[in-house]
């Protein structure tokens, strides 16, 4: 119990640091790359660099907050190793940051800086980039020193360490790597714009490392354990009293963690988006009090529907977690590097939904089978999708009703269905706006 509570407290801190704040890191870095990509020479170069430096200042308190957070965790985890790794990372990028902050002065110096001096400054920024691309140890940490997600339902969700006890770790290195890339590109654009073609090998190495990191993090976004029929409610006879007992295995969880745990977890950082299924699914969306414990109507289709709905909700949490971690910005930077190196852009977005994906998870007939495609109007297309989702939910507790145990004798009561949510059911289930005719 104490161990689980300690793990929970640690994860709460990490969620604040890497869930909420890494999203802000991603936004800040994304805005800098956006400025860099949009710059066309129509404004003064010095003013442009000054604007980038101002945005870069937004990153510093967030990166410092990560370090401060680890210091607060020293009573629970061995933070010294992480702090040392952060100092190591800072030492690798600080010289480039110094060049970055001096660019306005270099560009306006009298007499102008020599070409050799400018190339030396670019080389300093280049070295910072290679510090991240060429050394695997910058992306590793000691497994035993890192906090990972754990709860009584899913157990511990953590990566496997290698033979040396090391595991992939990106929480501080990734934002600094992105920072190093934009500093390098800014220095080249400011000091020797025509020389970018000479750095194609460097850009390819950046791309290779960034794609590897992105894919590793994506592979680490997992769902909590799926419950089966016996997990929802297991009924047995009490040998002493002869009465019936209902054991809600999925509900079991020490206070204060909410019941019916489900959600997404990023195993390498321990960041999670996990909560109580009843609270998230029904109380908030229907305005009702939390639904009491129930067991499923012994109709196979209802259990299958309920199981598929849980699976869809878990996947939605995984997609939400991808956004919270700021990974869409990482994908955007990957595409900017691909464009600079003449490679095709990534078109698949992890966090996106398609109608076909939703129907597949819910085990509904493919959209084509219900006439969504084939030249029908947008209105009919939307109506067909919403009609299929309506039929699905009406066959799924609690919209289909459910049994609940009311006394030890084993009596049960059939609870009437609750109303369907108002508005688009597609948006209710996915959080995404339905785009007719697209991504089916």
**Tokens 């909410």, located at residue:** 258
DSSP string, 332-400: HHHHHHHHHTT-PPP---TT---HHHHHHHTTPPPGGGGT-SSS--HHHHHHHHHHHHHHHHHTSTTTT
Please say if the pLDDT value at position 8 is more than 50: no
Q: Enter the tokens of residue 282.
A: 């029904």
Of 15-29, 380-394, 426-440, which one has max mean pLDDT?
380-394
Task: Please state the rounded mean pLDDT for residues 203-219.
Answer: 95
Residue 398 has pLDDT above 60, yes or no: yes
- C-alpha 258/C-alpha 324 separation (Å) is 21
pLDDT of residue 33: 59
Which of the two residues, 133 and 302, has the higher pLDDT score?
133
What is the structure's pLDDT at 48? 59
* CA 427 vs CA 190, 224, 406: distances in Å: 45, 23, 35
Share above pLDDT 90 across residues of the chain, in percent, rounded to a whole number: 28
pLDDT at 345: 92
User: Taking 90 as the threshold, does the pLDDT of residue 63 lie above it?
Assistant: no
Contacts of 315 (CB under 8 A, 6+ apart): 223, 361
* The residue to which tokens 């949490």 are assigned: 317
Tens-digit pLDDT profile for residues 328-341: 888 888 988 898 89
Mean pLDDT along residues 407-416 = 58
Please state the φ and ψ torsions of residue 404, each to the nearest 5 degrees.
-135, 145
Least confident residue range of 53-57, 223-227, 430-434: 53-57
Q: Rounded CA gap, 252 and 260, in Å?
A: 8
Q: Look over the chain and give the mean of its residue pLDDT values, rounded to a whole number.
A: 75
For residue 271, the model assigns a pLDDT of: 85
The pLDDT of residue 217 is 93
Token readout for 237 is: 């006879």
**Residue 372, phi then psi, degrees to nearest 5:** -65, -40
Give the whole-angstrom CA distance, residue 14 versus residue 398. 34
Name 117's Cβ contacts closer than 8 Å, sequence gap at least 6: 106
C-alpha distances (whole Å) from 69 to each of 73, 269, 277, 356 are 7, 14, 29, 42
Q: Which two tokens stand for residue 432?
A: 């995404």
Residue-wise pLDDT for 80-129, tens only, equals 566 666 678 888 899 999 998 898 888 888 898 999 999 999 999 999 99
Is residue 216 scored above 70 in pLDDT? yes
Model pLDDT, residue 90: 83
- Of residues 25 and 352, the one with the higher pLDDT is 352
| Whether pLDDT at 293 is above 70 | no
Rounded Cα distance, 93 and 436, in Å: 47
**Comparison of pLDDT for 205 and 61, the residue scoring more:** 205
> Is residue 141 over pLDDT 50?
yes
Cα(328)–Cα(100) distance, integer angstroms: 25
pLDDT by residue (tens digit) across 43-58? 466 665 666 666 666 5
- Are the CB atoms for 291 and 417 separated by under 8 Å? no
- Residue 20's pLDDT is 39
Poorest-pLDDT segment among 247-251, 395-399, 406-410? 406-410
| Residue 238 in this model has a pLDDT that exceeds 70 | no
Q: In this predicted structure, what is the pLDDT of residue 40?
A: 44
Question: Rounded to the nearest 10 degrees, what angle do helices 45-72 and 21-38 cross at?
Answer: 170
Beta-bridge partners for 415: 402
The CA distance from 51 to 32, in Å, is 9
pLDDT tens for each residue of 375-392: 567 778 888 899 999 999
Instruction: Using alpha carbons only, give the angle 124, 41, 206 rounded to the nearest 5 degrees.
Output: 35
Tell how far CA 15 is from the center of its chain: 11
Residue 229 has pLDDT above 60, yes or no: yes
Q: Residue 64 pLDDT more than 90?
A: no
Q: Facing residues of 149 across strands?
A: 157
d(CA 208, CA 206): 6
Instruction: Tell me how crowded residue 167 is: count the other CB atoms within 10 A of its CB.
Output: 21
- Mind listing the pLDDT tens digit for each residue in 159-203? 999 998 889 988 878 888 888 998 898 888 888 888 888 999 999
């Amino acid at each position: 119990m104490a161990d689980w509570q300690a793990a929970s407290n640690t994860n709460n801190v990490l969620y604040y640091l890497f869930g909420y704040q890494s999203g802000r890191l991603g936004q800040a870095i994304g805005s800098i790359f956006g400025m860099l990509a949009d710059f066309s020479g129509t404004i003064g170069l010095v003013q442009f660099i000054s604007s980038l430096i101002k945005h870069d200042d937004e990153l510093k308190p967030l990166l410092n907050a990560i370090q401060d957070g680890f210091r607060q965790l020293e009573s629970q985890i061995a933070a010294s190793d992480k702090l040392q790794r952060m100092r190591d990372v800072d030492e690798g990028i600080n010289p480039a940051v110094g060049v970055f902050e001096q660019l306005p002065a270099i560009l306006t110096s009298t007499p102008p800086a020599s070409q050799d001096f400018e190339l030396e400054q670019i080389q300093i920024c280049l070295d910072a980039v290679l510090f991240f691309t060429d050394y695997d140890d910058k992306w590793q940490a000691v497994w035993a020193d890192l906090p990972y997600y754990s709860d009584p339902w899913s157990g511990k969700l953590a990566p496997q360490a290698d033979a040396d006890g090391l595991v992939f770790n990106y929480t501080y290195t990734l934002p600094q790597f992105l920072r190093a890339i934009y500093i390098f590109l800014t220095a080249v654009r400011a000091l020797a714009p025509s020389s970018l073609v000479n750095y194609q090998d460097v850009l390819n190495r950046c791309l290779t490392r960034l794609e590897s990191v992105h894919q590793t993090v994506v592979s680490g976004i997992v769902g909590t354990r799926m419950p089966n029929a016996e997990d929802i409610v297991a009924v047995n006879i009490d040998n002493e009293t002869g009465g019936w007992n209902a054991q809600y295995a999925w509900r079991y969880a020490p206070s204060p963690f909410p019941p019916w745990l489900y959600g997404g977890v990023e195993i390498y950082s321990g960041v999670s988006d996990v909560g109580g299924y009843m609270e998230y699914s029904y109380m908030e969306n229907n305005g009702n009090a939390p639904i009491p414990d129930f067991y499923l109507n012994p109709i196979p289709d209802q259990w299958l529907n309920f199981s598929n709905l849980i699976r869809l909700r878990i996947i939605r949490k995984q997609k939400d977690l991808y956004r919270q971690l700021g990974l869409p910005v990482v994908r955007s930077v990957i595409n900017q590097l691909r464009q600079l190196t003449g490679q095709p852009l990534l078109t698949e977005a992890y966090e996106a939904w398609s109608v076909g994906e939703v129907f597949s998870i819910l085990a509904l007939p493919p959209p084509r089978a219900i006439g969504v495609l084939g030249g029908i109007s947008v209105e009919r297309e939307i109506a067909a999708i919403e009609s299929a989702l309506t039929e699905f939910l009406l066959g799924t507790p609690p919209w289909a009703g459910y049994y609940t145990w009311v006394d030890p004798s084993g009596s049960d009561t059939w609870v009437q269905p609750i109303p369907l949510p108002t508005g688009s059911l597609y948006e209710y289930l996915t959080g995404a706006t339905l785009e007719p005719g697209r991504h089916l």
